Chain A
């Protein structure tokens, strides 16, 4: 029986080529775009967040060799493919309006006042095609144009504000900020109020939990560590 060297016992990794800013790197297949970038030595400060597909910070644009399409995805959720040309979008310089939700009504006029560019939609559907969350983005903009705030709010529930739609829109609509306004309008004026939430808020305001919180604040670091270790965890 011949002995194997340490090198020989290592599992063989299938390596693929990716291109970051035009430079080729060999990375193990199966990594996500985010992990591949860190593998080759990038230290990500912007354009990275929850690493679980929820925060929308790591929007990526890429092309594949021999394919005319421009693809998009979240770097933390998309696995690399051989011959991928990658560009990270650390930030989308989007217009964000300041408004007082108490002074608005849940209608078309309220939205168009702050985001008049939504009327420029030519229904090319580019926004829907790039959405990593499969939101029907164009349908939602169209619902707003006919004053159906409720439908727009429901259609955009899964939006994580990655901004890819806004980067592709020929009408320069800032979809995700528009949708946030729409969901706020829906939450405040249209959605059914949940009674138990109101009751709980009243209890909090009346100070029902104050004593318990005060006791926790007074307890100090040693007690906190003990409480944390002994905390109840849902099965």
Chain B
């Protein structure tokens, strides 16, 4: 079993536990192991992305040092994340620090209680691991419960594919989630706003911004979509909030928002890694589609 270092991030240990559970199940099924770093900190979140100050890279680089320590025993320098914010923050910091000798030196001198960061770690999102290390063809062979005829909308959000230095796919026209949906037998629907921002941290101070934002995002797909899939705990939170609002305000139907790992785990038949509510939801949706297509 090939081992990869894994940095969960704070959200996955709080309200996105389903995301982590299903991903660990998938990894096991596909023959890789996600080894959680023994020590890790908050990735640093938007501070590192929004500020030029080297000081705000400390959080991310400290995690990269933890990974560097772990990689010695593991023999693999790839650090995997699930949360797309963690991914972006770590990958961006890594890119910046590798290309800025002065900043790296200042940080290494400041963190004199740690070993120096040498820029050897590669930050990878779990989706990229599925594509590059395992391959969607291999995954297809293991699908036991295809999500036949379900219209699934992929939501990338803003930080998984932008900026291009840390993007896991084409920033303008990504296809990795669409490919995943096809792999598990679903029907990916074209969604022009799939890489637009969900409103992000505005949800803390002004929920109205987020509600209206999400309503605008889902407007063009609200009738044909069955499920929206996401890669980010914050996107899921905001999408749920906005859909709830649109249901009351504009009488749209309910649109469940799931993590991509949840539908993949379902398709792979990994019931023990899924909440029973998710299993029931997907089972009923698939049955409904079967009935529809069998009407004479």
Contact = CB atoms under 8 A, between A and B. Distances in A.
B59 interface: yes
Contacts of B56: 122
A125 B62 contact: yes
Q: For B13, B47, B114, which residue has the most chain A Cβ atoms within 10 angstroms?
A: B13
B47 A122 contact: yes
A87 B44 CA distance: 34
B58 interface: yes
Contacts of B113: 125, 128-129
Contact of A123 (B10, B13, B14, B41): B41
B42 interface: yes
Contacts of A121: 42
B59 A123 contact: yes
Contacts of A129: 113
Contacts of A148: 13
Q: For A122, A129, A139, A147, which residue has the most chain B Cβ atoms within 10 angstroms?
A: A122
Contacts of A108: 14
Nearest to B14: A147
B190 interface: no
Interface in A132-151: 138-139, 142, 145-148
Given A121-B42, A123-B42, A139-B39, A145 B10 contact: yes
B46 interface: no
Given A123-B58, A123-B59, A148-B13, A142 B41 contact: yes
A92 interface: no
Nearest to A170: B55
Contacts of B58: 122-124
B111 interface: yes
A146 B44 contact: no
Contacts of B39: 139
A123 B110 CA distance: 12
Given A108-B14, A123-B62, A145 B111 contact: no
Contacts of B47: 122
Interface string B181-220: 0000000000000000000000000000000000000000
Interface in A38-59: none
A142 B42 contact: yes
Contacts of A142: 40-42
A165 to B, nearest CB: 14
A147 B9 CA distance: 11
Nearest to B56: A122
Interface in A61-82: none
Contacts of A139: 39, 41
B55 A122 contact: yes
Contacts of A124: 55, 58, 110
Interface string B44-55: 100100000001
A84 B36 CA distance: 44
Nearest to B11: A146
A138 B59 CA distance: 11
Interface string A106-133: 0010000000000001111100110000
Interface in B28-48: 39-42, 44, 47
A146 B42 contact: yes
Interface string A142-175: 1001111000000000000000000000000000
Nearest to B48: A122
B285 to A, nearest CB: 32
Q: For B9, B14, B44, which residue has the most chain A Cβ atoms within 10 angstroms?
A: B14
A146 B59 contact: no
Contacts of A138: 41
A145 B62 contact: no
A155 B50 CA distance: 32
A122 B59 contact: yes
A148 B113 CA distance: 24
Given A121-B42, A138-B41, A146 B14 contact: yes
Contacts of B59: 122-123
Q: For A121, A123, A142, which residue has the most chain B Cβ atoms within 10 angstroms?
A: A123
Interface string B3-32: 000000110011000000000000000000
Interface of A: 108, 121-125, 128-129, 138-139, 142, 145-148
Given A124-B58, A146-B9, 20 more contacts: A108-B14, A121-B42, A122-B44, A122-B47, A122-B56, A122-B58, A122-B59, A123-B41, A123-B58, A123-B59, A124-B55, A124-B110, A125-B62, A142-B41, A142-B42, A145-B42, A146-B10, A146-B13, A147-B10, A147-B14
19 contacts: A108-B14, A122-B47, A122-B55, A122-B58, A122-B59, A123-B42, A123-B62, A124-B58, A124-B110, A129-B113, A139-B41, A142-B41, A145-B10, A146-B9, A146-B14, A146-B42, A147-B10, A147-B13, A148-B13
> Which 5 pairs from chain A and chain B are nearest by CB?
A146-B10, A123-B59, A142-B41, A146-B13, A147-B14
